[in-house]
Amino acid sequence: MRYMTAETAEAASSALAAEPGLARVLAGGTDLLVQLKAGMIRPDLVVDIKKIPGIREITAENGGWRIGAAVANAELKEHPGVKADWPGVVEGANLIGSTQVQGRCTMAGNLCNGSPAADAVPGLVAADASVTVVGPSGTRVVKVADIPAGPGRTTLAKGEIVTAIHLPAKAARSSDAYLRFIPRTEMDIAVAAAAVSLTLSEDGTITAARVALGAVAPKVVLADASTIIGTKLDDAALAALAKAAEAVCNPIDDKRGTIEFRTSTAGVLARRAAVIAYNRAKGVK
Amino acid sequence: MALDDQKRAFKYVGTTPNRPDGVDKVTGKAQYGADITAPGMLMGAVLRSPHPHARIVSIDTSAAEAMPGVRAVVTGKDFPAVEDQGFADIGETCMARDKVLYDGHPVAAIAATTPAIAKAAIRAIKVEYAPLPHVTDVDEAMLPDAPVVLEGRALEHVPAGMSQNVTNTCEFGHGDLEAGFTKADLILERSFKVGAAHQGYIEPNACMASYAADGRADLYCCTQGHFFVRAVCSALMGMEASQLRVTASEIGGGFGGKTTVFVEPVALMLSKKSGRPVKLVMTRDEVFKATGPTVHASVDCKIGMTKDGRITAGDMTLRYSGGAWPSGTIEMGAQAGFAAYDMPAVRTLGWTALTNRPKEISYRAPGAPQAVYAVESLIDEMCQQLGLDPVETRLKNAARKGTLSSYGVTFDDIGMVATLEAAKAHPHWSAPLGPNQGRGIAAGFWFNFGGNTCVSLNINADGTASVTEGNPDIGGSRASISLMAAEELGIPYDNIRTIVADTASLGYNDNTDGSRVTFAVGLATIKAARAAIKVMCDRAAAMWGIDAEAVEWIDGAAVPAGPNAGKFPPMSLAEIAAMSFQTGGPIAGHHEVNVDGAGVSFGVHICDVEVDPETGHTLVTRYTVAQDAGKAVHPTYVEGQMQGGAVQGIGWALNEEYIYGRDGRLQNAGFLDYRIPVASDLPKIDTVILEIPNPGHPYGVRGVGETPIVPPLAAVTNAVSRAIGKRMYQVPMSPPRIMTTIKGK
Ligand SMILES: Cc1cc2nc3c(=O)[nH]c(=O)nc-3n(C[C@H](O)[C@H](O)[C@H](O)COP(=O)(O)OP(=O)(O)OC[C@H]3O[C@@H](n4cnc5c(N)ncnc54)[C@H](O)[C@@H]3O)c2cc1C
């Protein structure tokens, strides 16, 4: 196995593209190193991207935020601007692992690892975030929702890397929230998860909303948010949202949960996350 | 034993000095199994079966052997046949012979110059398997047409016509069941299931073996009993016990799981074949797949009760499976099930069956939690139906001194009533509950054990003492043993150092198990100290020129016994020790014994939970343990045992379980999906230590390590069942299972 530290995104990309064997990007390594040690993968080349200029920085951009691909999730938690604008994104990213893991892990790594249960991803999808992808055939900007392709798979081509995540400008009277279900209280993997991002009119009516679900389908899925748009999140709207969430679930039956359990829990979480986001948007603590 | 002894005012026993192994452990200096190295050492790796059940057609190791750096390859063929069936079974768990019997069963091992080469060589071994049908569930394994795991292993008294997987049956009890049930106002019969739990020790099994050309060998390993390791390994290697010296490392948890061997014989054989020391360390995945979890169980329980809560009869059928080899754990379960109660009529019938799972090994109170869970859950359900208080009902039926127990012995002084009274008096029992919360209570019992024990105590010339014992310290026993030696000798705790010696230094010591060490090794230490005191009194008598009988030992000094003996000032241990080279040589005491008189220990646990009615998520919000310790030698260690057992039981009750797929493979061989509780999952575990002296120990000590894992399965179940308003009949109570019950399906 060869290890290299890339100085530029282009250098990383061309090294990855040129490797005939298995090549892997190294960000925080909290997935990659675990997979390596467990013998699940045996890459021929590992390219560390943390030395690429700007890749560990958070910068304001078009009213929103550009988060470098190697920014550790713990840094997001300490960033007042990002936290104020996208509390749901930040809370999802910081449900990952423990304090130690959060000091290393990245949202981009969480996304590119391709787990259907990735905790940072539903929040980004609900936020309608995008990523910048640098590859052998140039640079493109893609929606986060378009990156996952299924368990352990992404739509990134050989040699393509994510260099930044873009969170759009936060609208007035908007907010977001993320909830996951785990049997324990921490250090666990989501059995079902929901992120809700919504915007209110002055009278508290929901004018826009996105609801993304994790761990209930091969990749993150959007639920029909029209169930709550135009409402003030009354009980009927919440019940309709839960139903809409259940309707898009396509989970597996496994050691972590049954199809039935994951489906009903996704509905419950969508409902609860919507209430939290709604209260945040209204400025209610 | 004189009761005076037990009522004496203790000076050191009952205090809580710092643990002697603490500094090394917190500074990282302590040597655990994987920390031992030797010059020229090779690294081992093991190839394991991916099949739950298959015949091994062939193993081709030629490509692996040809790899540079590979120094030895071992398969089942390298081990000689062993006559002793028990040892042979253990040998087969370490290395398969003709068949693989579970997912993870070892089939070959490599020793190489680096771990990477060893792993690569493992991948180069070609094994041809002929897969066989498998069975991983005890109820399915007992069906007449179930795939047969091993043939011809049923004991003679097992009735004919059953599946060959059924290897043992046992029955305990007394009284007229029919008459008992006739007297009942309410009879309930329920079926329960208990998943297999792993001990979850943090230190993976590890050892380092060095086999010399002249046939001597040294083995270092993390174990709960190096004398047993020597017995098994010397048998499996076909060598004399005297030629194998086993040294126990510090141990990062065992809980019963390290009372056997998994890697040690393999490392020895690799070392013998390579002529080099070999280290073998399991990965976590290997620990889960191929070391012993508990039995998994299926239980039918029937109890009759009068309207006012008197139990009139109890009848229980237990079906346990300890994996692919015969297991005796069923007997302990069948004996423990109803042991807490004074039963006019009782029967427990046990069955054990083979399944394609790894060989079960002890886990705290082996066999008891599964049986007691059924009894304590059913009693709670009956209390609910009859509108009775669960503590008062248990008090009404509690076993007392003189009770004929369900397993045949008549109890001496026991603490069942006292622990129930302590629970009843605890503020926890009467605290208010919030919405979606429930409170459960359950009792538990463990026999405790004495066993073979050998201790040497040396008085050093500077007035200090060294205790040499042979039981790996997994729960703080070095501190407790030093405290008892200090008490007896009358010198400070800090002047004593207790070490765990290797197998060449002492006679046989049984494993650190059965909650035996503080009791049995403590007893032998007290007796060894008394032997040394006798020598010191003799020396003082000789120096004073009086009769040896005329000297007593008081407060760490020899004193003339009464005015007639002579008028001499007390001669301290230090003074006698300083003169020892002039008065006859070094002073020592030792004691070797097969200890009897272990005192049973009862515990009562109270548990509060809050259940999310929409997701089944369960949080334990408050937990209290009351238990009889006999005498708490080092009270914070006793608390630690009570809290640790409760936490392990809570984990088992809520999430911990071996999950097998239809393919017979283990689905959750890691701490991600084998969910032990993390700190944030738990409240502070409150403890009440009761001290009802055990008549069988000079200071009244009972074992405390095992009882605390017995009540939690039912305590948590009763709390959850009351919180959701419906009864749960299976542990672990994973959120999906709780939701299924809530939704009434
Ligand atoms: C103890 C522990 C607990 C955990 N708990 C959780 C949890 O609760 N929730 C959860 O979702 N995850 C959890 N994880 C998994 C992991 O921490 C997260 O997925 C994390 O976000 C991965 O980020 P990383 O930077 O460490 O990724 P890495 O391990 O560096 O990379 C992950 C994968 O993505 C690829 N990759 C990384 N960055 C890029 C990039 N910029 N462009 C292209 N490909 C890239 C890598 O090649 C690799 O395949 C846990 C891990 C551990 C060890």
| DSSP per residue, B290-316 | HS----EEEEEEEEEE-TTS-EEEEEE
B504 and B588 share a domain?
A: yes
Confirm whether B178 is domain-assigned: no
B736 with A188: Cβ contact below 8 A: no
Contact residues on chain A for B677, CB-CB shorter than 8 A: 184
Same domain? For B668 and B681 the reply is yes
Question: For residue B236, how far is the Cα from the chain centroid?
Answer: 24
Tell how far CA A244 is from the center of its chain: 21
Residues B239 and B319 reside in one and the same domain: no
Question: Is the CB of B739 less than 8 angstroms away from the CB of A264?
Answer: yes
- Residue B92 token pair: 């087969």
Chain A residues touching B659 at Cβ < 8 A: 255
Asked if A188 and B659 come within 8 Å (Cβ–Cβ), the reply is no
Ligand 1 center–CA A107 separation, angstroms: 8
Answer yes or no: do B736 and B684 share one domain: yes
Band of pLDDT at residue B563, cut at 50, 70 and 90: confident
Residues B230 and B375 in one domain: no
The CATH number linked to A105 is: 3.30.465.10
Query: What tokens does B95 get?
Result: 């290395």
> For chain B, how many structural domains are there in total?
3
How many Å apart are CA B644 and CA A34, to the nearest integer?
Answer: 29
Q: Render pLDDT for B276-285 as a digit per residue (tens, 0 to 9).
A: 999 999 999 9
Is the same domain home to A252 and A149? no
Mean pLDDT of the region B193-198: 98
- Domain range spanning residue B683? 296-448+599-742
Q: Please determine, for residue B258, whether its predicted confidence score (pLDDT) is greater than 80.
A: yes
Residue A30 lies in a domain: yes
User: Do residue B380 and residue B454 come from a single domain?
Assistant: no
User: What residue owns the CA closest to ligand 1's atom 8?
Assistant: A96
Interhelix angle B368-386/B329-336, rounded to 10 degrees, is 30
The span from the CA of B332 to the CA of B485, in Å, is: 33
- So what's the ipTM on this one? 0.96
- Residue A235 included in any domain: yes
- Which of chain A's residues have a Cβ under 8 Å away from the Cβ of B683? none
Q: Which residues of B are less than 8 Å from A257 in CB distance?
A: 735-736
Taking CB atoms and an 8 Å cutoff, what residues of chain A touch B667? 254-255
Q: Is B93 within the bounds of a domain?
A: yes
Confidence of residue B566 (pLDDT cuts 50, 70, 90): confident
B485-539: pLDDT as tens digits:
999 999 999 999 999 999 999 999 999 999 999 999 999 999 999 999 999 999 9
Same structural domain, A8 and A115? yes
Which of the four pLDDT bands, split at 50, 70 and 90, describes residue B251? very high
- Of all protein residues, the one whose alpha carbon is nearest to atom 31 of ligand 1 is A109
Report the nearest atom of ligand 1 relative to the CA of A133: 42
Q: Do B681 and A184 touch (CB under 8 A)?
A: yes
- Spatial distance between the Cα atoms of B506 and B527, rounded to a whole number of angstroms: 16
Task: Looking at the complex, report in whole angstroms how far the Cα of residue A255 sits from the nearest Cα belonging to chain B.
Answer: 7
Spatial distance between the Cα atoms of B484 and B13, rounded to a whole number of angstroms: 6
Assess whether B540 and B455 both reside in one domain. yes
Give B737 Cα–ligand 1 centroid separation in angstroms: 30
Residues of A in contact with B681 (CB under 8 A): 184-185
What is the rounded distance in angstroms from the CA atom of residue B408 to the CA atom of residue B431?
A: 38
Q: Which of A98, A187, A263 to mutate to test the interface with B (most CBs of B within 10 A)?
A: A187
Residue A185 lies in a domain: no
CB contact under 8 A, B735 and A185: no
- For ligand 1, whether the C-beta of A116 sits within 6 Å is no
Task: Could you list the beta-strand ranges (E) of B224-380.
Answer: 244-248, 278-281, 296-305, 311-321, 346-353
Of B283, B614, B735, the CB nearest to A183: B735
Min Cα distance A98 → chain B (Å) is 11
pLDDT score recorded for residue B3: 46
pLDDT given for residue B6 in this prediction: 61
Q: What are B524's two structure tokens?
A: 């032998």
Q: Which domain holds residue A205?
A: 192-281
Asked if residues B445 and B601 have their Cβ atoms less than 8 Å apart, the reply is: yes
Query: What is the distance in A from the centroid of ligand 1 to the CA of A250?
Result: 24
Please identify, among A150, A167, A184, the residue that sits at the C-terminal boundary of a domain. A167
**Is residue B193 a part of any domain in this protein?**
no
CA distance B366 to B8: 34
A75 lines ligand 1 (CB under 6 A): no
| Structural domain includes residue B722 | yes
Query: For the residues A8-15, what does the mean pLDDT come to?
Result: 98
* Residues in chain B within 8 Å Cβ distance of A256: 673
Please report where in the chains the tokens 């409170």 appear, as a residue.
Answer: B439
Same structural domain, A18 and A108: yes
**Mean pLDDT within B620-643:** 97
Q: Is the CB–ligand 1 distance for residue A142 below 6 Å? A: no
Interchain contact B675–A (C-beta under 8 A): yes
Residue nearest to atom 43 of ligand 1 (CA): A161
Q: Is A29 in the pocket of ligand 1 (CB under 6 A)?
A: yes
**Mind listing the pLDDT tens digit for each residue in B95-130?**
999 999 999 999 999 999 999 999 999 999 999 999
Residue B119 with chain A: CB contacts under 8 Å: 39
Q: Is residue A108 part of a domain?
A: yes
Among B570, B593, B616, where does a domain finish?
Answer: B593
Between chain A and chain B, how many beta carbons pairs sit less than 8 Å apart?
51
B210 shares a domain with B72: yes
Q: How far is the CA of A30 from the centre of ligand 1 (A)?
A: 5
The CATH number of whichever domain residue B736 belongs to comes to 3.30.365.10
Among chain B residues, CA nearest to A189: B672
Give the count of beta carbons closer than 10 Å to the beta carbon of residue A226: 12
pLDDT value of position A284:
84
Between the alpha carbon of residue B13 and those of residues B148, B483, B522, B699, the distances in Å are 54, 6, 11, 9
Instruction: Give the Cα separation of B224 and B286 in Å (integer).
Output: 19
Cβ-contact B333, B367 below 8 angstroms: yes
Is 60 exceeded by the pLDDT of residue A199? yes
What confidence score (pLDDT) does residue A38 get?
A: 87
**Exposed e or buried b for every residue in B397-411, given b needs 16+ CB within 10 A?**
bbbeeebbbbbeeeb
SS3 for chain A is: CEEEECCCHHHHHHHHHHCCCCEEEECCCCCHHHHHHCCCCCCCEEEECCCCCCCCCEEEECCEEEEECCCEHHHHHCCHHHHHHCHHHHHHHCCCCCHHHHCCCEHHHHHHCCCCCCCCHHHHHHCCCEEEEEECCEEEEEEHHHCEEECCEECCCCCCEEEEEEECCCCCCEEEEEEEECCCCCCCCCCEEEEEEEEECCCCCEEEEEEEEECCCCCCEEECHHHCCCCCCCHHHHHHHHHHHHHHCCCCCECCECHHHHHHHHHHHHHHHHHHHHHHHCCCC
Pairwise CB contact (< 8 Å): B736 & A254: no
| CA-based nearest residue in chain A for residue B654 | A183
Q: Which residue of B has its CA nearest to A180?
A: B615
CATH number of residue A213's parent domain: 3.30.390.50
Residue B70 in any domain: the answer is yes
Q: What is the pLDDT of residue A92?
A: 98
Q: Does A146 share its domain with A252?
A: no
- In chain B, the percentage of residues whose pLDDT exceeds 90 is 98
- Name the pLDDT band for B1 (thresholds 50, 70, 90): very low
Residue B4 has pLDDT above 60, yes or no: no
Ligand 1: centre distance to CA A102 (Å): 10
pLDDT value of residue A285: 66
**Could you say which of B552, B573, B593 is where a domain stops?**
B593
pLDDT, one tens digit per residue, over A206-238 is 999 999 999 999 999 999 999 999 999 999 999
CATH number at residue B244: 3.90.1170.50
Domain membership flag for residue A177? no
The last residue of one of the domains, among B593, B614, B649, is B593
Confirm whether B656 is domain-assigned. Answer: yes
Question: Does some domain include residue A88?
Answer: yes
ω before B732 within 30° of 0 (cis)?
Answer: yes
User: Distance from the CA of A133 to the center of ligand 1, in angstroms?
Assistant: 17
Nearest to B667 by CA among B718, B734, B578: B734
What are B36-85's pLDDT values in tens digits?
999 999 999 999 999 999 999 999 999 999 999 999 999 999 999 999 99
B728 and B644 in a common domain: yes
Q: Is the Cα dihedral B87, B93, B95, B98 positive or negative?
A: positive
Residue closest to B257 by CA, chosen among B294, B301, B310 = B294
The reply to whether B732 touches chain A by the CB within 8 Å rule is no
- Considering the domain architecture, whether residues A106 and A235 belong to the same structural domain is answered as no
Atom 19 (ligand 1): residue with closest C-alpha?
Answer: A110
Q: What's the pLDDT score for residue B565?
A: 86
Sequence-ordered strand ranges (E) for B141-289: 166-174, 186-194, 206-211, 217-221, 244-248, 278-281
Mutate to test the pocket of ligand 1, among A33, A112, A178 (most ligand atoms within 8 A of CB): A112
Say whether both A158 and A221 belong to one domain.
Answer: no
Whether residue A172 is contained in a domain is answered as no
Number of folded domains in chain A? Answer: 2
Do B352 and B443 fall within a single domain? yes
Question: B355: distance to nearest CA of chain A, Å?
Answer: 20
The verdict on residue B172 lying in a domain is no
- Shared domain for A213 and A116, answered yes or no, is no
Alpha carbon of B525: minimum distance to chain A alpha carbons (Å): 44
DSSP secondary structure string for all residues of B84-116: SHHHHHHHHHHS-SSEE-STT-EEEEEEESSHH
Examine residue A73 and state whether it is found in any structural domain, yes or no. Answer: yes
Ligand 1 centroid to residue B704 C-alpha, Å: 43
Question: Are A152 and A239 in a shared domain?
Answer: no
